[in-house]
Amino acid sequence: MDAELVSLVSDIALGISAVVVAVVAFFGLRTWRKELTGKAKFDVARNVMLLGFKLRENFKWARNPGGWSWEYANRTRQENESPELSAVLDQWYAKNQRLQLLVENLQKLEEAAWEAEILLNEDSGKCVQEAFNTYRSSYAELSSAIYSYFETRHDEAIGQDVRQRQEEQKELKKEIYSAARDDFSKRIDQATEQLATALKTYVK
């Protein structure tokens, strides 16, 4: 009888132990999954915020009116370039080189936005997508303005009459060269600020 009682108590103890282990494992797994998800959200939010800040600086650099000779040192020269044409082509080349930074970071942000849409809540994912759309449309606007502006300057440098395009040139110049807090800069700043505000909750 004693042996049966001991066996019964032992079986009960084993059963209780199994239940305890299962409960601990269940809650441990939930905690682990929660921590893992939290880290993934942190990494995505941090990456997106960083790309937003980089893009803001990329736009400032692309529109910076200054220029340095090292920016066009690798440009392939045409035969018999006049000094006027060389100056235009040098500036055009430098501007296009600056745009490459924008292209690279826009591609990175597009990929990060897909992750944000999966991991973050709907409002945050929407904010990321809106910011990306603002950056992308601003890049398209800027690159188009640079092409049109320097195409006209190129035509002028080779002796074509471009007087009818002078008013258009003034507007394009405002677009491709930054002025303190102009509409273009404000648009980029606003998109970046909204992006950072929406994602701060994930990186605290």
Instruction: Flag whether 150 is in a domain.
Output: yes
Give me the domain span that covers residue 170. Answer: 44-202
Instruction: Flag whether 33 is in a domain.
Output: no
pLDDT digits (tens, 9 = 90+) for 130-164: 999 999 999 999 999 999 999 999 999 999 999 99
Instruction: Flag whether 74 is in a domain.
Output: yes
Determine if the pTM surpasses 0.85: no
Instruction: Flag whether 63 is in a domain.
Output: yes
Rounded to the nearest 10 degrees, how much is the dihedral formed by the CA atoms of 164, 166, 168, 173? Answer: 160
Q: Which of 116-130, 151-165, 188-202 shows the highest mean pLDDT? A: 151-165
Is-contact 42 201, C-beta < 8 A?
Answer: no
pLDDT digits (tens, 9 = 90+) for 14-47: 666 555 544 444 444 444 344 545 688 888 889 9
Instruction: Flag whether 138 is in a domain.
Output: yes
Rounded to the nearest 10 degrees, how much is the dihedral formed by the CA atoms of 24, 29, 35, 39? Answer: 160
Instruction: Flag whether 109 is in a domain.
Output: yes
CATH number of the structural domain spanning residue 107: 1.20.120
CB atoms within 10 A of CB 190: 12
The number of folded domains in the chain is: 1
**Cα angle at 163 between 98 and 93, to 5 degrees?**
15
pLDDT digits (tens, 9 = 90+) for 82-109: 999 999 999 999 999 999 999 999 999 9
Instruction: Flag whether 60 is in a domain.
Output: yes
Instruction: Flag whether 15 is in a domain.
Output: no
